Amino acid sequence: MILKKIHICLCPVFITIILFIAVNLNLDAQNIPLLVRNQYFNYQKQSLKDTICKRTGIEYPFVIGYNYNQFTNSESNHPYFKKNKWAKGSLVYQGLYYTVEGLKYDIEIDKLIYLMYDKDNTMNGVALDENFIREFSVLNSTFRYYYDLKNDTGRKLKAGYYEVVYDGKLKFLVRCGKSKTMNDFSSFTELFLLKDGIMIDINNTGKLIRQLKDKEKSVKEFVKDNLLKLNKSDYSSASKILKFYENL
C-alpha cells in the first residue's frame, strides 16, 4: 500500500481569499484594465491558497494515510468506538501533541479516522497511518499502539490500538473490536493486565486481585469497602484498584 500525505485547506480559507481580494481590487479597480484585473485576482487567489496550505501542512503534518469512505448515518449500526459522531480529540505525532477536531475511531479496521476539508471545500475522511500515530485520545478514552505482545502461554497477540485504562508500572489494557456480519456489527472486548511484559487475560475482579499477590489482602479489603466490580461491560474500577495497589 502506498501512503499518501494529504495537506489540509480549511473552510475559512475561502472567506479570507474573498475579503482580501475584494479590498485589493477595490483600491485600483477604476485604473486597471479588465484582463489585468482578472490576472491579478487569480494570482492573489492562488497565492493565498498556497500560503494557507503550506501553513496548515506544517501545523497538521500527521495527516498521512489513505482515503476513507465508510461513513454511515446509523446511530446503532456502525463500526466506530462508542458513538457514530465526529469528536474533538488529540493525538501524538513524532513526539508532539496535537489537539484535533473531527475524529472517529473505526474499531472494525482498527484505524483512526480524521475528517478534513480539501482545496475544493469538500469533506473527506483520512484513515491515519498507525506507524505515525502511536497514541490518540477520543471520547474520553486514550489508545496506544502496541505490537510484539505475548500472553502468559507465549502466544503472540494481534498488534493494534489498545485502550489504556491504567498507565502505571502495571498497565490495564482493553482491546475493543467489531466484526461485520451481514448488515450488522457485532462487538467484542478483551481485558488485559500488562505485567512484566506479559499480557494476562483478566475476566473479573478476582483474577485481577490474584495477580497482585504481594498485597492481596489489602487489595481485597479495598475492593470490598468500595464495592468495586470488574467485567467486560464495566472495567473502570481496574484503574482504581491498580492505583491503590501501586500507592501502597
Question: What pTM was computed for the model?
Answer: 0.75
User: Tens digits of per-residue pLDDT, 121-162?
Assistant: 678 899 999 999 999 999 999 999 999 999 999 999 999 999
3-state secondary structure of 32: coil
Provide the pairing of β-strand 150-151 with 198-201: parallel
Distance CA 69, CA 66 (A): 10
Percentage of the chain with pLDDT > 70?
75
User: Tens digits of per-residue pLDDT, 86-100?
Assistant: 999 999 999 999 999
Q: With a cut of 70, say whether residue 20 has pLDDT above it.
A: no
- Could you tell me which residue, 60 or 85, shows the higher pLDDT? 85
Partners of 80 in the β-ladder:
106
Q: Which of 5, 120, 137, 115 is nearest to 71 (CA)?
A: 115
Instruction: Return the pLDDT at 110.
Output: 97
- Lowest-pLDDT choice from 10-14, 76-80, 199-203: 10-14
- Could you tell me which residue, 12 or 81, shows the higher pLDDT? 81
User: Tens digits of per-residue pLDDT, 211-222?
Assistant: 999 999 999 999
Q: CA 212, 215, 217: angle at the middle one, nearest 5?
A: 105
User: Tens digits of per-residue pLDDT, 179-199?
Assistant: 888 778 889 999 999 999 999
Q: Where are the alpha helices (DSSP H) in 95-141?
A: none
